Chains A and B, each alone.
Chain A
Amino acid sequence: DGGITQSPKYLFRKEGQNVTLSCEQNLNHDAMYWYRQDPGQGLRLIYYSQIVNDFQKGDIAEGYSVSREKKESFPLTVTSAQKNPTAFYLCASSRQGRETQYFGPGTRLLVL
């Protein structure tokens, strides 16, 4: 069963805490992406990676970090520097850049 998985489904963050969102895909896709969705707004790109051990900042990278040590995995860390982290976080992948992106089920991050 090929697809993209994200965990956890819901995540609660305390003030000053770093949290890591998981994203795994078994579609053998080269490119992976992280987006943030806020109510009434379109998806905004946080980071993307076209190949293992390489990634680029998107439009709203401040306060976030990523790694791409394996083709299948692209975890996102929301650091304490991100002052407004409450949002729906979506991970996506595509065979290569510019091609159709497929999304995981998302993680809702809430601040306590």
Chain B
Amino acid sequence: RKEVEQDPGPFNVPEGATVAFNCTYSNSASQSFFWYRQDCRKEPKLLMSVYSSGNEDGRFTAQLNRASQYISLLIRDSKLSDSATYLCVVNGGANNLFFGTGTRLTVIP
């Protein structure tokens, strides 16, 4: 079983739509969780860390469910500039992060 699993998509949504991505992780001892954004042929960039209580940053909301071992990312009022691949990242213990394969989002005009 992979450490981190994501639906690869693609998700094609119209501008203004709300879209949600889920990610599951296998290591129940994981302590740190992140969402990164990666544009085509570029490096991943931190979008937001995910906290136990859930956190919001503008149009983006991240939730963590430790009991079910999944993380979600909600994007409201999608913009064309949100088109990218979203990587779910989980600390695997020690000093390693495990990356999901990413979920590709395309926002359509």
Q: 9 A-B contacts, Cβ less than 8 Å apart?
A: A31-B95, A40-B101, A42-B100, A42-B101, A58-B96, A100-B49, A101-B97, A103-B43, A105-B42
B31 in contact (CB, < 8 A): yes
Query: Taking each of A90, A100, A104, which has the highest tally of chain B beta carbons within 10 Å of its own beta carbon?
Result: A100
B17 interface residue, CB < 8 Å from A? no
B45 at the interface (CB under 8 A from A): yes
The minimal Cβ–Cβ distance linking B2 to chain A, given in whole angstroms, is 8
Is B94 among interface residues, defined by CB-CB distance under 8 A? yes
Interface residues of A in 94-112 (CB under 8 A from B): 96-106
Number of interchain pairs (Cβ within 8 Å)? 45
> Shortest beta-carbon distance, A42 to chain B, in Å?
4
- By the criterion CB–CB under 8 Å, are B4 and A97 in contact? no
Residues of B29-47 at the interface with A, using a CB-CB cut-off of 8 Å, are 31-32, 34, 41-46
8 Å CB contact of A90 from B44, B49, B98: B44
Chain A CB within 8 A of B91 CB: yes
Interface size on A, residues (CB 8 A): 23
Q: How far is the CA of A58 from the CA of B95 in the complex (A)?
A: 10
Q: Is A41 an interface residue (CB 8 A)?
A: yes
Minimum-distance CB pairs A-B, first 7: A97-B95, A103-B43, A42-B99, A43-B99, A42-B101, A106-B43, A105-B43
Interface of chain A residues 47 through 90 with chain B (CB within 8 A): 48, 50, 58, 88, 90
B46 near A102: Cβ-Cβ < 8 Å: yes
A27 adjacent to chain B (CB < 8 Å) = no
A98:B31 contact, CB within 8 angstroms: yes
A103 touches B95 (CB 8 A): no
A11 at the interface (CB under 8 A from B): no
Chain B neighbourhood of A48, CB < 8 A:
95-96
A-facing residues in B74-100 (Cβ within 8 Å) = 87, 91, 94-100
Chain A residues near B100: list those with CB within 8 A.
Answer: 42
Partner of B34 from A40, A50, A58, A100 at Cβ < 8 Å: A100
Contact A103 B45 (CB under 8 A): yes
